[in-house]
Amino acid sequence: MFRFTFLLLLILPSLSFADAPRTFSEAKKIGWKLYADQPVEFYCGCRYTGNKVDLRSCGYKPRKNPKRAARVEWEHVVSAWQIGHQRRCWQNGGRANCAKNDARYRLAEADLHNLVPAIGEVNADRSNFSFGWSPEKPTQYGACQTVVDFKGRTVMPRQEIRGFVARTHFYMSKRYGLRLSAQDRKLYEVWAKAYPAQRWEVARNERIACITGQANEFVSRVNVRQCR
């Protein structure tokens, strides 16, 4: 997948906890730098330069929207809808209202642990669908192994990111009080065990912890006092 090394911790100028993003817009700016050493998008493993995706690098074929398939967008692993729909602000104006008037929502929306670069078309197709198993075969996007089941409103991620998806949900659920269904929790427990955190995921967790002061404990423990 990303194949991060611990050199990732050294590629950016030192950042203090004061640099932790306060909004989704700020988080995206940091995200570009966070992935600068290994620019590989999330759902299909395509490489990218700037915000332009090298579709050939992962055998991607656009399903319906070539223009959006060609660009990188920032995706919430736990969707913005899942973060916000249980909150009063969402009921009274949706995402825009939450981003403007709900401080807790803004923190969750800007959480770097939950943000990944993704092919725009897959990001759009995923919408706010939950992750899970799908009977569909991974042929929608050429060689990309992620499947979007529109009928079942489910996304089956490629194997390399299933553990990451699970650990991100556990983290967001604990940190922001987001409810996970018994079915989802059981599935994520299976994925977390079957697909343990790889070196790139641990390095990413450490780097984010040193920026924000908050690690994803389901990936690895981080002593933020040791951050440069």
* 13-35 residue pLDDT tens: 444 455 789 999 999 999 999 99
Q: Which of 40-44, 84-88, 104-108 has the lowest mean pLDDT?
A: 84-88
For the CA atoms of 168, 170, 175, 177, what is the dihedral angle to 10 degrees? 120
- CA separation for the pair 195, 188 (Å, rounded): 10
- On the CB side of 154, CA atoms within 13 Å amount to 11
- pTM greater than the 0.75 cutoff: yes
Asked whether residue 7 carries a pLDDT value surpassing 60, the answer given is: no
Residue with tokens 């919430």: 76
Q: Where are the beta strands (DSSP E) in the chain?
A: 47-49, 52-54, 72-76, 115-119, 130-131, 147-149, 154-156
Q: What six digits make up the tokens of 75?
A: 């995706």
- CA separation for the pair 74, 27 (Å, rounded): 9
pLDDT tens, residue by residue, 152-209: 999 999 999 999 999 999 999 999 999 999 999 999 999 999 999 999 999 999 999 9
